[in-house]
Amino acid sequence: MTKIATVRSQPTATQKPTNRLKLDPAKTQSWQAQAKSPEARPVQTPLTSAKPSSGQKSSVSPQQPTSKKSVQDDELKIYGVNSCLAFFSLHPSKLVRAYLSEAAAKGKFKALVKWFVTNKKAYHVVSDLELEKVTESKHHEGVCLLVKAPEQLELASWLTTLPAKAKGAVLMLDRVANPHNLGAIMRVAAHYGVIGIVTCNPSALRSGSAMRTSEGGAMYVPILKAKSMEQAVKLLKAEKFYVMATSSHHSHDLYQTKLPARSAFILGEESNGIDPVLATISDKNVIVQGTGKVESLNVSVATALLCSEYWRQHLPK
């Protein structure tokens, strides 16, 4: 069992990441893939009400709950304040529809509402109950965006876009499935300038829960699809990435290990760690040493420690 890959608690990240690798966004950012702008839709009731009578305060009346609208295969739901603000800031042309509480519409999302009005797209001011129905979560934070899904990047294709001398850290997620861990990992990855996250299940990282937990970090790190982790290891090695597995067996102390400019870290699923096969085909196994009083670290905490040490050894100049 890996020493640093089981579920415990979630980490936090408070500092804005510094970009480590300047790549062509059109080729590297999964959220920057070119797509046609959504078809214009009629605007719902704008954020104004009938003229109030004397002595009354104007307010925005939430619409009555409506039947939940279907989400197309090429669409995603994003909820949570920071994730929605980040998406709106980076990719407004991919917005399809918005659901907001009255407080959100009159507060942090005034600019978004104005954008929807200007572009004649539908938005809905709804109750918390309706937002729970739309997001299927009680943790919507008063906002949900329906957006065009990004073009899925394949690891093999993405590697061809890397400049020959480009450096950076890549994360490889072996069956990590908990959405809160995935969100925390994306948050950490954005903070430390990780250049890509490899997975066999990209949809898990684009769930509403994972993206909310990422606090906007999901918008900044390319999600790279691999057919298998074994194939991903071979592809990365072929491009001179040094692949390290997080394992407690025959492992080297992370803080005594020199991390190459091109490093890839394999992190395993929450209960049993990485597939033993991956440990055998990796260039090195590493471990975060501790007191041993607990069996292991949460996978997102382990990710933060790995990325932090890579960042320390390769500080931007």
State pLDDT tens for residues 192-214: 999 999 999 999 999 999 999 99
For CATH 3.40.1280.10, list the domain ranges present in the chain.
25-29+152-313
Q: What is the pTM of this model?
A: 0.77
For CATH 3.30.1330.30, list the domain ranges present in the chain.
34-148
> Which residues sit opposite 223 in a β-bridge?
197
The predicted pLDDT at position 69 comes to 53
Average predicted confidence (pLDDT) for the chain: 83
**What are the strands of the beta sheet with 252-253, ordered from one edge?**
153-154, 223-225, 196-199, 168-174, 262-268, 242-246, 284-287, 252-253
Closest CA to 140 of 80, 209, 97, 65: 80
User: In this predicted model, which residue has the larger pLDDT, 181 or 29?
Assistant: 181
User: In this predicted model, which residue has the larger pLDDT, 64 or 306?
Assistant: 306
pLDDT band at 285 (very low <50, low <70, confident <90, very high): very high
Evaluate if residue 248 carries a pLDDT over 90.
no
Evaluate if residue 28 carries a pLDDT over 80.
no
Tokens of 62: 């939430």
All residues at 6 or more sequence positions from 190 whose CB lies less than 8 Å from its CB, including other chains: 13, 17, 214, 216, 217, 218, 219, 220, 221
Classify strands 223-225 and 153-154 as parallel, antiparallel or unpaired.
parallel
CATH architecture of the domain 34-148 equals: 2-Layer Sandwich (3.30)
The predicted pLDDT at position 45 comes to 40
pLDDT band at 114 (very low <50, low <70, confident <90, very high): very high
The predicted pLDDT at position 19 comes to 42
Query: What integer is the mean pLDDT of 38-55?
Result: 39
CATH code for the domain defined by 25-29+152-313:
3.40.1280.10
